[in-house]
Structure 1
Amino acid sequence: MSSQENQTDQPSDLMSQLLDAALLHVVFDGWSEATFEAAIADTGTNPVLARAICPRGAVDLALAYHRRGDQMMLARLAQSDLSALRFRDRIAAMVRYRLEVADDKEAVRRGVTLFALPQHAAAGAKAVWGTCDAIWTALGDASDDLNWYSKRTILSGVYSSTLLYWLGDDSPDHQATWEFLDRRIDNVMQFEKVKAGLRKNPLLKPLLAGPEWLSSQIKPPAAQDDLPGRQD
């Protein structure tokens, strides 16, 4: 495809083309400048246009790859029926869907390495937060206070630890990863049971009134762009 043809493409289409081309090079060069330049060359894209769409080069392509995985996760959910599952099992299923749609483990591994760098850590944290927000939203979370943040923060920890385990898992069908995920979610559910017990305790309930009132005053972002970790 010529650069002249590419200049008429929609930005999202061009991003997808660059991403597909980059994935052929990530295994060798990671999410690097070399990969970005190779994607530009392979697609015949005008370099100025490519830089306009991806100001940070391969970093933006790595983030696009992560968002593509989120979209594929939601598409798989749309084809599934989780209504018979307990809520904790629905969450586990969503995390499993998210990992299973990542068909290029080496691209994911290289992304983890990239976002472990201090200069890209905030972007990586925001990407994980976005995944967890997508999971909670898809499952119908209606929280409108501090719980909106705590749910996503806790799930971010579960997702991140499970992702790292999955990267090193060579068990058949990643069975060891799914068992690890179940244990992490069990830990979270035990914590929630403790919180519920504290609220029911007649001696502790008055002490929790103040913190719970303060919690109710903290509201979630008004829009997706207001998510914590936004880079202006």
Structure 2
Amino acid sequence: MQSDDTPNPTQDDIKDRLLDAALIHVAFDGWSEATFKAAAEDAGVEPTLARALCPRGAVDLALAYHRRGDLAMIERMKVTDMTGMRYRDKVALAVRFRLEAATDKEAVRRGVTLFALPQHAADGAKAIWGTADAIWTALGDTSEDGNWYSKRATLSAVYSSTVLYWLGDDSPEHTATWAFLDRRIDDVMRIESFKAQARRNPLLMPFMVGPDWLARQLKAPKARGQDLPGSVHPGA
């Protein structure tokens, strides 16, 4: 067992140790119970304490690994000068930062497998939504209606497809992945452009009345982190 030299470690410190120890085993055993037990032993954490911090074992560690990547992305965004960049380029750069924060591709691959299982699919969807929310929040998104949801739902789809492409990409410096990401964002921008044009077109305008009305009724959540955040306007 490893000894901990940190005086009075917090629960987060101990969980970080568990996660670091788990990453060594994930490539061989996935995010599994075997990995969790080996991580606790390697990190010198008593099994009862490890279980108290991670009631679902390796599933909680896999989610912690995802959140660690989100935090690394946010910190990199804070120190990057994006002045003068187009908004779509800022979003693309943020997604790139998020993927580059995943230093262990095999851990991500095993995570995709884990969260593809029916019993963990909701956790995976929530984690991806959290990443999209983190990106928009870091970019200063101020939307308070249905646009809050549509932005995060669209980016979640872009991020998910890019992750899957990235996992199979062996091009130098992942250049193929960044090109794929640019194409996906361009697709989204074309849809948004079409919607804007439809609102100005007298022939198409009637078809936008319903969706626009519904978008105005939805409100962004006051408390972040809910599974399905938000509410319908009381006056609806």
Q: CA deviation at 1:227?
A: 4.1
Q: Distance in 2 between matches of 1:211 and 1:77?
A: 33
Q: Distance in 2 between matches of 1:174 and 1:194?
A: 31
Contact 1:21 1:43 in 2 (8 A): yes
Tell me: higher relative CO, structure 1 or 2? Use CA pairs within 8 A at least 6 residues apart: 1
Q: CA deviation at 1:55?
A: 0.7
Contact 1:169 1:177 in 2 (8 A): yes
Does the residue aligned with 2:219 lie in a helix, a strand or coil?
coil
- Provide the residue aligned with 1:219 in structure 2: 219
* Residue identity in the other structure for 2:179: E
Q: Distance in 2 between matches of 1:122 and 1:180?
A: 26
Q: CA deviation at 1:191?
A: 0.3
* Residue identity in the other structure for 1:202: P
Distance 1:7 1:46, change over 3 A: farther
Q: How does 1:75-224 map to 2 (within 5 A)?
A: 75-224=75-224
Q: CA deviation at 1:226?
A: 2.1
Contact 1:2 1:45 in 2 (8 A): no
Q: Distance in 1 between matches of 2:159 and 2:42?
A: 34
* Residue identity in the other structure for 1:71: L
Q: Distance in 2 between matches of 1:77 and 1:214?
A: 33
Contact 2:130 2:225 in 1 (8 A): no
* Residue identity in the other structure for 1:137: T
- Provide the residue aligned with 2:233 in structure 1: none
Distance 1:227 1:120, change over 3 A: closer
Structure-1-length-normalised TM-score: 0.93
* Residue identity in the other structure for 2:42: D
- Provide the residue aligned with 2:53 in structure 1: 53
Q: Distance in 1 between matches of 2:163 and 2:89?
A: 17
Aligned residues: 228
Which consecutive residues of structure 2, in runs of 5 or more, have no partner in the other structure? 230-236
- Bigger mean CA offset, 209-218 vs 100-109: 209-218
Does the residue aligned with 1:202 lie in a helix, a strand or coil?
coil
Q: Distance in 2 between matches of 1:136 and 1:227?
A: 17
Does the residue aligned with 1:226 lie in a helix, a strand or coil?
coil
Which consecutive residues of structure 1, in runs of 5 or more, have no partner in the other structure? none
Distance 1:6 1:79, change over 3 A: closer
* Residue identity in the other structure for 2:31: W
- Identity, % of aligned pairs? 64
Contact 2:73 2:94 in 1 (8 A): yes
Q: CA deviation at 1:44?
A: 1.6
Contact 1:129 1:152 in 2 (8 A): yes
